[in-house]
């Protein structure tokens, strides 16, 4: 898990699709996973029908919301098992969860080595290599209170890709969108798939 790029992760996804013989597939990627999904669409276009990005960050790192440095610190400390639970919850609420949502769901499940491998792969790959996601249709699912996707960037994919992109904003959710509003996420994805042209829907 060293010296990897996003292209290596994309190769893994492509291998799964080929193994299952179920392609072309609609890929759903949360946060970092959206980078991998888009890289797969670039590198293996015949295997990808469409890409769903769940809580994907804005193209430019948000400098608002308490400052980019503070947000980065909150992410790092959220997964630090040496910190008291109360302190980690504070950082989880700051970076990942909308007010009133249960941040304790993310106290477990952090894996330092996986985080290091993913971070290194992201740094080793230029954003320009994966951002466009090839020519696949795009669904950008956003938490209304996600600090990684400020309101100023809400429609950036539509502005860049036009009709190829669809934006759906889910209320009462932040960056932990999948666990905060799972039903709304599934309903939005299923509805969008149902509207894809026949050549792009399975």
Tally the domains of the chain. Answer: 1
Does position 1 have pLDDT exceeding 60, yes or no?
Answer: yes
Cβ contact 92:107 at 8 Å: yes
Per-residue confidence at 59, pLDDT binned at 50, 70, 90?
very high
112 part of a folded domain: yes
3-state secondary structure of 200: helix
Residue 137 counted as domain residue: yes
> What are all long-range contacts of 66-71, with beta carbons under 8 Å and residues at least 24 apart?
66/94, 66/147, 70/94, 71/95, 71/147, 71/148
Give a yes or no: residue 140 inside a domain.
yes
Is 173 within 8 Å of 144 (Cβ atoms)?
A: yes
Q: What is the pLDDT of residue 63?
A: 53
The reported pLDDT for the residue numbered 72 is 85
Residue 67: the pLDDT is 67
Mean pLDDT lowest among 30-44, 55-69, 93-107, 109-123:
55-69
Name the residue with tokens 């290599």.
129
In a domain, 37, yes or no: yes
Query: What's the domain range around 97?
Result: 6-196
The secondary structure element, H or E, covering residue 49 is strand 48-54
Residue 1 belongs to a domain: no
Q: Which of 84, 76, 85 is nearest to 105 (CA)?
A: 85
Kindly state whether residue 201 falls inside one of the protein's structural domains: no
Residue 69: the pLDDT is 80
The answer to whether 48 touches 36, Cβ cutoff 8 Å, is no
Residue 202 has pLDDT above 70, yes or no: no
pLDDT tens-place string over residues 83-103:
999 999 999 999 999 999 999
Contact predicate 143/151, CB 8 Å: no
Contact 4, 121 (CB under 8 A): yes
**Rounded mean pLDDT of the chain?**
93
**30-34, 72-76, 119-123, 125-129: which has the minimum mean pLDDT?**
72-76
Q: How confident is the model at residue 22 (pLDDT cuts 50, 70, 90)?
A: confident
Say which residues have a Cβ less than 8 Å from residue 5's Cβ, sequence separation at least 6.
121, 124, 125
Q: State mean pLDDT over 39-63.
A: 92
Residue 200 pLDDT greater than 50, yes or no: no
> What DSSP character marks residue 58?
P
pLDDT tens readout for residues 103-159: 999 999 999 899 999 999 999 999 999 999 999 999 999 999 999 999 999 999 999
pLDDT bucket at 201, cuts 50 / 70 / 90: very low
Query: What CATH number did the domain enclosing 16 receive?
Result: 3.40.50.1820
Q: If we measure between CA atoms, which residue out of 129, 125, 120 comes closest to residue 3?
A: 120
Asked whether residue 87 is domain-assigned, the answer is: yes
30: β partners: 54
Tell which residue, 191, 198, 184, 202, has the closest CA to residue 55. 184
Q: If pLDDT is split at 50, 70 and 90, which confidence band does 62 have? A: low
> Using CA atoms, how far apart are residues 6 and 117, in angstroms rounded to an integer?
10
Q: What is the pLDDT of residue 71?
A: 86
Residue 51 φ then ψ, to 5°: -130, 130
């Amino acid at each position: 898990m060293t010296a990897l790029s996003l292209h290596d992760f994309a190769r893994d996804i492509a291998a799964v699709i080929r193994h299952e013989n179920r392609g072309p597939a609609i890929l759903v990627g949360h946060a970092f996973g959206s980078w991998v999904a888009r890289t797969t669409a670039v590198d293996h276009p015949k295997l990808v029908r469409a890409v769903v990005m769940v809580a994907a960050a804005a193209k430019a790192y948000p400098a608002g919301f308490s400052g980019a440095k503070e947000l980065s610190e909150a992410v790092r400390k959220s997964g630090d098992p040496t910190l008291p639970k109360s302190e980690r919850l504070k950082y989880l609420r700051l970076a990942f969860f909308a007010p009133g949502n249960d941040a304790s769901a993310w106290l477990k499940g952090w894996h330092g080595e996986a985080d290091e491998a993913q971070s290194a792969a992201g740094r080793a790959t230029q954003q320009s290599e994966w951002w466009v996601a090839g020519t696949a249709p795009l669904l950008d699912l956003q938490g209304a209170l996600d600090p990684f996707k400020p309101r100023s960037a809400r429609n950036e994919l539509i502005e860049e890709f036009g009709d190829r992109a669809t934006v759906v904003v889910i209320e009462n959710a932040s960056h932990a969108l999948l666990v905060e509003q799972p039903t709304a996420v599934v309903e939005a994805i299923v509805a969008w798939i149902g509207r894809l042209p026949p050549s792009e829907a399975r």
